[in-house]
Structure 1
Amino acid sequence: MSVTNLQYLFKPRSVAVIGATNDPRNAGNIVMRNIMAGGFMGPVMPVSSEAEAIAGVLTHPSVKHLPKTPDLAIVCSPLDEVPEIIHSLKERGTRGAVLMGAGFAAMNREERQDIKETILSIANPPDIRIIGPKSLGFMVPSLNLNASLAHSDVAPGKVAFISQSDSLFATVLDWARAKGIGFSHMIALGSRIDVSFSDILDYLGSDPLTRSIMLYVESIKDAREFMSAARAASRNKPVLVIRPGQALDTVLGDLKLRETGDHRLVDAVYDVAFRRAGMLRVENIDGLFDAAQTLGTPKHVFGKKLAILTNGTSAGILAADRLLAGGGELAKLDETTINAISEVLGEDNWSRSNPVDIPFNADGKDYAQVLKLLLKDKNSNGILVMHVPWTAQPDVEVAEALRDALKRVKRMVLTAWLGSGTAEEARETFRRADIPTYDSPTQAVRAFLYMAEYLRNQELLIETPDSLPSDFFPDTNTAREIVSKALEQGRESLTEPEAKDILASYGVPVVETRIAVSAKEAVIAADKLGYPVAIKLRSPQVPQPYDVGGVLLDLETPERVWEGAASILARCTRERPDAYIEGFTVQKMGRRPGAHELFISANVDPVFGPVLAFGHGGMAREMIQDKALTLPPLSMSLAKELVGRTRIATLLKGTPSQPPVDIDDICLTLIQISQLFIDVPQITSIDINPFYADSEGVLALGGKIAIAPFEGHGEKRLAIRPYPRELEECVILKNGRKVTIRPIRPEDEDTHRAFLAQLSDEDLRLRFFGVVQRDFDHKDIARFTQIDYDREMAFIATSMNENGEPETLGVMRTNTRPDNSEAEFAIVVRSDQKGAGLGSVLFHKGIRYTQDRGTKQLTGQTMVENKAMQGLSKKFGFKIMPDPHDEDLVDMVLDMEKADG
């Protein structure tokens, strides 16, 4: 929903505990004791009709008898009493509630739905924000607030943990206490009838006390809200997630999945969603904290090459083995580095390679000198320093020497001090200096690989995609007509020729195909197509004709076709006497000697919507199980990343006997299928197998499409909103120049950089409220051009210059709150384009867009001296008022209900 009123949950000034009791086993007693023991500084008001005082605090008989309105209410009463309690709280003006009372787990599905609807109709979120039911509560250590049923408290820290599981909440709490790790927030969401992962991610994404966010996720309810919130949060700070995977999906899976037994797809879709959101998925709780420790530092790695420094040969080998097994690489040391280390340690006293195996009794000075040399070597992306305990060598002294050597060092260095006793003192030395430290080489290497993977996911978030071919103009009307006619006939699937006609309408090269209901018609079809041909059995009971010998290839004469059709019928009758035979599919042989057999498919996931798959195709597809998944919409960069995650991608690069495949053609086909799913939402699945690819291009031999009625726009099915092409329009300025007003695209990075470069110093100062540097890097421009169209909008005015090249003339941006209550705008027009009315055109476009999406208010700020901006705002009905917090600024506010669109 939004972050509205979440501050009353997580920054309350007063708390009421409703259903408090003196029964030590009751939730009302446990949470009272936890709040009082935690030292919360605000009023704590227990509500109980059974006891005069609880945990040393006088009680109140009801909500209406409370001496003041609580910001937060902890409701421990049975769930059937909750609606009346929420009603009382709403009358008092309470804005946040946590539902801990029993009863939800014992209800059946219908009862749960009824109580959920009743509670929400009374609370009317965001009037009252609700965590739960069936929640263990939450902790905010910086406020000394333990509003939970946890068995112990937690230290303050900079990591937030959000859990869908009560047991994981308690487990992580124990684990963190044992490791001395603190938290900014620990939140158990419970059954999530209101406050969800999306809300918390939005809230913590801008929380200054939270450096990184950890999630335990079992299921997501609203994929688009989750993806938008996760993408926004992960741009600001590391977001890590743990999900049980296939075992969970087997137990809790969708009914259809239970029937088929295919639970692999569910977890694979979650996995690709996490990656697409820029998050890092880890395997277990240890990995969660190991990764959080590394990612919480300001030092990053930009690759998988690791240098290892150790005083133990076997320990170094174990670390290297774990690195290589995890997909990492051992950095190759520069010859200059090798010679320099030899001068420090002696030619024969170390390994002269990576791992750098120095003498077992090396002291702190030796470690520090070698480390400094490794830091100068640019061939590694990070360094792991390991130490094996030795009787004559003080662990802490070596650790202190390394700590001193790493002051003001910007490169990533991890440490692993093996053993216990003094090794723990050494690890504490590193912790105090914010140097990542681990108990074992395995943990350290895993943390390094997690960081490399996380940063790769982040790069995908800001990677500028290759431009699509300018001649990609799909024939959407033809595709829609074919699907519409089939639906009118009550069909759930298309014939193979229909499917290929649709694919061809979207630019996918296909083999020409005909349908025949008899052997005679098969011969006629083959004569028209030209020989040689292939024929294939058509029967709804035989989805894979190969299984019954229902496919014949390279038939070169009419006689062979006639005989082949007869033999297929005979075999099918013998093998599957129950099968209804509809006839045959006849297609011209697609001769591509040496081509790779691939597949492309698309299905609709019940949570994340359309999902595309790519991999090794052909008859052995299910046996080989080489595939990768992704979520649309796709760019060329994302399509290439998808292809690169398959095993067959290595072969596609070429072999001594085969030239490389045209990868761009494969990627373009993936984008075409992605766009088809968006444009024709009645399509529920597509399967292209085999899909040939070689150096000459691609060719679809087999094609299946399933359909179902669908009302609404196809983009609504997607977890990530695609580029809104419908918002494009052309205008003519006062000076006669033709300009296209459209949403910004990632491909606009170069032209947008040029646009910023052409702004005058004064325009930049007024736009960014001060002097700014002009050297915008890739990450800066990516933030401007790669936006979440669900939350942000940037309309650019673009036109052709005198050289026939596109250029950006101006931009109007809006950033909308998640609850759609308010959008903030900013506008800037290139200095040499003023006076042609472009500012008014862009302003009008932004206002209409904001109005159409139902936003309540459009606001902006500008400097007091920027009279031109204020004048333009007044023209469109904005109220101009001084900013109460900064005398150099003015606020501009437009009530959208009164706006003239």
Structure 2
Amino acid sequence: MSVRNLRQLFAPKSIALVGASERPGSVGATVLRNLLAGGFKGPLYPVNPKYETLAGLRAWPDVTDLPQAPELAVICTPPRTLPGIVRALGELGTRAAIVMSPGVAGARDGRGRSIKQAMLDAANPYLLRILGPDSAGLLAPGIGLNASTAAGGAAPGRIAFVSESGALMTGVLDWARTRGIGFSSFVALGDSADVDFGDALDYLASDPGTGAILLHVESLRYARKFMSAARAAARSKPTLMLKAGRSLEAAAGAACLAGVLATPDDVYDAAIRRAGMLRAYTTGQLFAAVETLARARPLYGERLAILGNGAGPVVLAADALLFGGGAAAQLGEDTVAKLRELVPEWRGSGPLNLHGDAPPERYREVVEVLLREPDASAVLIVHAPNAVVDPAAVARALAPLARATSRNLLACWLGGNGVLEARTIASEAGMPSYRTPEEAVNGFLQIVHYRRNQHLLMEVPASSGDGAPDRERARLLVRQALERGRASGRYLLSDPDTKAILAAYGIPVVPTRAASTAEEAVDAARAIGFPVAVKILSPDVAQKSDVGGVTLDLDTPEAVFAATERMRRRLAELRPDARLDGFIVQAMARNPEAHELIAGAATDPVFGPVILFGHGGLAVEVAADHAVGLPPLNMVLARDLIGRTRVARRLAGYRNHPAADLDAVSAVLVQVSQLVAELPEIVELDINPLLADSRGAVVLDARMRIAMADRSASTLDRLAIRPYPAELEETVQWQGAPLLLRPIRPEDGPAHVALFNALTPDDVRYRMFVRVRELQPAQLARFTQIDYDREMAFIATRPDTHGVQETLAVGRVVADPDNMSAEFAVTVRSDLKGKGLGIMLMHKLIDYCRARGTREIVGEALPQNAPVLGLVRKLGFTVGPLDEEEGVRKFWLDLR
């Protein structure tokens, strides 16, 4: 992950076009024309030995002849020339290049070596960044840069668009021009041999000229890198994705239902949600969403109040809200009474019809009442033009409310030219405007979904759930299963073997035993206790009931013996090719009110392990009701996963059926998440059915597919999101008592607030450089909910006199995407300063950064902060002079 030298790519001060041409239709001629038409102000050097001049500019025969090193080189030459050109540019001092040459991926030199790899090897010593190959180029309209093959330029704006597809570039640019949409950057990644989505996101997230980031993604290669960059970008500005290639095909070779059900599109959807981004399904929806989010206020609820000047339009809006999964505001009695005074004909519920003759003042009065209603998170005005009321007058009446309110006020102006002025007035007042009621409601729902995804973004769960799993027991069972698999060639574990591993991780399972013969089945039934269920044990039969391989409610040893014999004969008749390894005997789980669910895991080729949950039982594929999430999960994320299914409504209870114990179901999902995170040999897992009722959840049937794992790499490298690093926990002695130094967790929020409240005003100012009275929720989330792949915060914690864990001090370090430099800060509770906590945490931070290969650790402090300046000098930091402009002293420590 790197932003090194990307400034020269996105905002170069000079450009060389290697392969420039005047031949009509050639890439070199097209790019040269676009560079000149864009109005780029810096030096432009065409390079081609065939020309002395091109388009009135002096042409240079070779890059080695250039009068200076161009910051950016655009290369349009044949693949075989690329390694030499890139090496020459690197030696000259160029640090960024756009390689437009097609056909590089499969090209080989005379010795059969990869041209693409040779090009990257040539660039590597100089940290020369490459966009492409097979890139359609890059536009930065703000500086007049059009280094692309697009048929036309782009208007300046604050939207960055990043796409793999060059073919999409021209179409989107033309579409955007007709709608007045401008861009800060427009990037075609091409083959992404070097610069990829993660790099682009990292650069654009800190680009002050970019207000929103749009991605068009066909495929990803580095999930961990992408997720870290996407989560960082989504924290700072709206980030939206249009995912192409929404394949519904199941994973090839899947042996478990989870592998079949968790389609690639499901997994991308889970990744988008978890990254805090918003998904769009069409190009129009993508740009409409960014327009909405750019004007949206923070949303503190998810209920919409609707009003308009006609029954038809407001009913259409209400229908769109209902069928879109939204919720209407439930107005309080006081609000209803005030609205009835303003609109006597209104019946007191449902959307408000003000009728066609409602004057602008009526709109204003009604909206004022609704904006004071606690349950109305947002208000939508739907106006249809007529000859009685001027739409612009309505917009002018509402504009002051839109500017003053902290809530979202949206407007739908039905019609064409007659409502253009109203749309303009509303937009200038910060009120998102739409052409139809359905578009307006969709805009509101996009804000809702974005809010939910931002909430998920803040969840960084621990790698371990409640309780302590017997990891050694589980690993032993997996090793034994692998040994049996090597001998038999079968790596699909039976129900009893799978349940043993699940039980080691604390997942409740129905008592189950395997039996090789009918006699052993009878002994197993006696040990478990009657009544029991008996099932065939066959690696060749996926659905046991299809061959009569399940018998329930067996109350006696004789019944068990007879059932096994019947099943043996039945299997021989229906599936003579199927092997019978014996029988499964398990306790009967009698509960007609229990819900049959499926929980499981699969392995995605890009994002690694994923968790699946949904409606289970025999009809699981027909029900087609499931959701997918990325591990690691915590209880909040598990609840969100459950809530995205239709079966969640049944689990909440209905009629005489009590609600299921959702905490128990969520705990199973958390434990499954932990299981697959810590045991890389687990490739797929099905728990079907998982029975859930008001008393809890229990596994009835389960199976698992395992495979040899690459133990040379960290088991956590498989995960798209790094879980809580428990291995960094350390217990030390301080003031004669044990003290735990560990990474911060989201649940440390209350203790972090208590730490902040225990600081003196001067200590707060020294830490934040300004006076702050209290931590805002967003600040607290930022401090306690971190991306462990990018930053680290260690806390010193111990139980207080009431046994509640308290935070005494915190040391934080944030590395740049290149891991070259990391900035640190240390905060110690004011009454505990001078007792060694600060230096203890500094040693912890320095050791951590060294282990990660960070080159230097840096910091800054107000000149009055003598304790910190003394501390860093004691640790060997170099302390710089006072920075007069920033009013701080900076210090650094070389870790090499």
TM-score interval, smaller chain: over 0.9
**2:237 matched to 1:199?**
no
- Equivalent position SS for 1:597: strand
Matched residues in 1 for 2:348 and 2:653: separation? Answer: 35
Residue 120 of structure 2 corresponds to residue 123 of structure 1: no
CA drift of 1:199 comes to 0.9
Does the CA-based 8 Å contact 1:45-1:57 persist in structure 2? yes
Could you give the per-residue CA deviations for residues 538-587 of structure 1, whole angstroms, max 9, x where no partner exists?
Answer: 22221221111111112222222222112112111111111122222222
1:493–1:707 contact (8 Å) kept in structure 2: yes
**803-812 vs 50-59, which deviates more?**
50-59
Q: Is the 8 A contact 1:388 1:417 kept in 2?
A: yes
Name the counterpart of 2:181. 181
Q: Which runs of 5+ in 1 are unaligned?
A: none
CA RMSD of aligned residues (A): 2.6
User: Aligned partners of 2:8, 2:892: CA distance in 1, in Å?
Assistant: 26
1:466/1:636 contact within 8 Å kept: no
Q: Spell out the pairing of 1:453-852 with structure 2 (5 A cutoff).
A: 453-462=449-458, 472-489=467-484, 490=486, 491-710=490-709, 711=711, 712-733=713-734, 735-771=735-771, 773-852=772-851
Q: Separation in 2 of the partners of 1:111 and 1:332?
A: 73
Task: Tell me by how many angstroms 1:339 deviates.
Answer: 5.0
Residues in 2 aligned to 1:281 and 1:785: alpha-carbon distance in whole angstroms:
26
Does structure 1 conserve the Cα–Cα contact (< 8 Å) formed by 2:133 and 2:190? yes
Pairwise CA distance, 1:627: 1.4
1:309 pairs with 2:307: yes
CA pair 708-787 structure 1, distance change in 2 beyond 3 A: same
How far, CA to CA, are the matches of 1:259 and 1:671 in structure 2?
20
User: Could you tell me how far apart the structure 1 residues matched to 2:620 and 2:232 are?
Assistant: 37
**1:254 to partner: Cα distance:** 6.7
- Structure 2 unaligned spans of 5+: none
Match of residue 36 from structure 1: 36
Match of 1:430 among 419, 426, 429: 426
- Following superposition, the deviation at residue 190 of structure 1 comes to 1.0
Q: Secondary structure at the match of 1:7?
A: helix
**Structure 1 residues 708, 335: closer, same or farther in 2, change over 3 A?**
same
Partner Cα separation in structure 2 for residue 259 and residue 464 of structure 1:
28
* 1:331 aligned onto 2:332: no
- 1:441 matched to 2:437? The reply is yes
Contact 2:202 2:233 in 1 (8 A): yes
Aligned residue identity for 1:215: L
Please give the alpha-carbon distance, in whole angstroms, between the structure 2 residues aligned to 1:235 and 1:882. Answer: 34
Q: Secondary structure at the match of 1:638?
A: helix
Greater alpha carbon shift after TM alignment, 304-313 vs 267-276: 304-313
* Distance of aligned partners of 1:191 and 1:50 in 2 relative to their CA distance in 1, 3 Å threshold: same
Q: For residue 628 of structure 1, report the CA deviation from its aligned partner.
A: 1.4
1:153/1:428 Cα in 2 relative to 1: closer, same or farther (>3 Å)? farther
Counterpart CA distance in 1 for 2:112 and 2:136 is 18
| CA–CA separation in structure 2 for the residues paired with 1:656 and 1:393 | 49
Aligned equivalent of 2:881: 882
Shift in Å, 1:338? 4.9
Quote the residue 1:412 is aligned against: 408
Taking the aligned partners of 2:463 and 2:31, their CA distance within structure 1 comes to 57
* Range that drifts further, 66-75 or 120-129: 120-129
Task: Give a deviation string over 1:446-489, Cα, whole Å, max 9, x none.
Answer: 1111111101111223369899986x011101111111122233
Q: CA deviation at 1:766?
A: 1.3
Deviates more, 1:700-709 or 1:407-416: 407-416
> What is the alpha-carbon distance in structure 1 between the residues aligned to residue 617 and residue 110 of structure 2?
45
The offset of 1:209, in angstroms, is: 1.4
Residue by residue over 1:625-644, the C-alpha shift from the partner in whole angstroms, topping out at 9 and shown as x without a partner, is 22111111111111111111
Corresponding residue number in structure 2 for 1:239: 239
Once residues 674 and 835 of structure 2 are traced to their aligned partners in structure 1, the CA distance between those partners, rounded to angstroms, is 36
Match for residue 82 of structure 2?
82
The one-letter code sitting in structure 2 at the alignment partner of 1:448 is F
Distance change >3 Å, CA 284–CA 71, structure 1 → 2: same
Matches within 5 A, 1:81-480: 81-104=81-104, 114-124=114-124, 127-247=127-247, 256=253, 265-297=263-295, 299-341=297-339, 347-348=344-345, 354-391=350-387, 393-462=389-458, 472-480=467-475
Aligned equivalents of 1:457 and 1:390: distance in 2?
40
Alpha-carbon offset, residue 126 of structure 1: 7.3
**More divergent stretch after superposition (515-524 vs 146-155):** 515-524
Amino acid at match of 2:56: G
CA shift at 1:713, angstroms? 3.0
Within the alignment, does 1:73 sit opposite 2:48 as a pair? no
Distance, in Å, in 2 between the alignment partners of 1:113 and 1:736 is 64
| CA separation of 1:809 and 1:567: change in aligned 2, threshold 3 A | same
Secondary structure of residue in 1 paired with 2:410: strand
Give distance in 2, aligned partners of 1:103 and 1:727.
46
Distance 1:507 1:353, change over 3 A: closer
- Deviation digits for residues 756-789 of structure 1 (CA, Å, limit 9, x no counterpart): 1111222211111232x22113222111110000
Q: What letter corresponds to residue 799 of structure 1 in structure 2?
A: R
Letter in 2 for 1:478: R
CA distance in 2 between counterparts of 1:589 and 1:167 reads 60
- Classify 1:140/1:486 alpha carbon distance in 2 versus 1 (closer, same or farther; 3 Å): same
TM-score, normalization by structure 1? 0.94
Give 1:298 shift: 5.1
Mean Cα deviation higher: 144-153 or 352-361? 352-361
Q: Aligned to 1:614, what secondary structure does the other structure show? A: strand
Q: What is the DSSP-based 3-state SS (H/G/I as helix, E as strand, rest coil) of the residue aligned with 2:646? A: coil
Distance 1:319 1:475, change over 3 A: same
The separation in 2 between residues aligned to 1:268 and 1:9, in whole angstroms, is: 34
Which residue of the partner structure matches residue 869 of structure 1? 868
Task: Tell me the distance in 2 between the aligned counterparts of 1:418 and 1:32.
Answer: 45
- Contact 1:793–1:813 (CA under 8 A) maintained in structure 2: yes
CA contact (8 A) 1:467 1:747 kept: no
Does structure 2 conserve the Cα–Cα contact (< 8 Å) formed by 1:743 and 1:793?
yes
Task: Give yes or no for contact 2:311–2:355 (8 Å, CA) kept in 1.
Answer: no
Q: Secondary structure at the match of 2:492?
A: coil
Q: Which amino acid aligns with 2:30?
A: I
Q: What is the rounded CA distance, in whole Å, between the counterparts of 1:112 and 1:40 in structure 2?
A: 40
Compute the displacement of 1:887 (Å).
6.4
The residue type paired with residue 88 of structure 2 is: S
More displaced 10-residue stretch of structure 1: 721-730 or 141-150 = 141-150
Partners of 1:171 and 1:110 in 2: how far apart?
38
Range 526-535 or range 848-857, more displaced: 526-535
Preserved CA contact (<8 Å) 1:301 1:412: yes
Structure 1 residue 871 displacement after superposition: 2.2
Q: Is the 8 A contact 1:29 1:54 kept in 2?
A: no
Cα offset, 1:270, TM superposition = 0.4
Deviations 1:180-202 (A, max 9, x none): 11111111111111111111111
Query: Which amino acid is the alignment partner of residue 98 of structure 1?
Result: I
SS at match of 1:826: strand
Is the CA contact 1:688–1:702 (under 8 Å) kept in the aligned structure 2? yes
Paired residues, number:
889
- Name which of structure 1's ranges 666-675 and 360-369 shifts more when overlaid on structure 2: 360-369
Report the more deviating stretch, 813-822 or 827-836.
Answer: 827-836
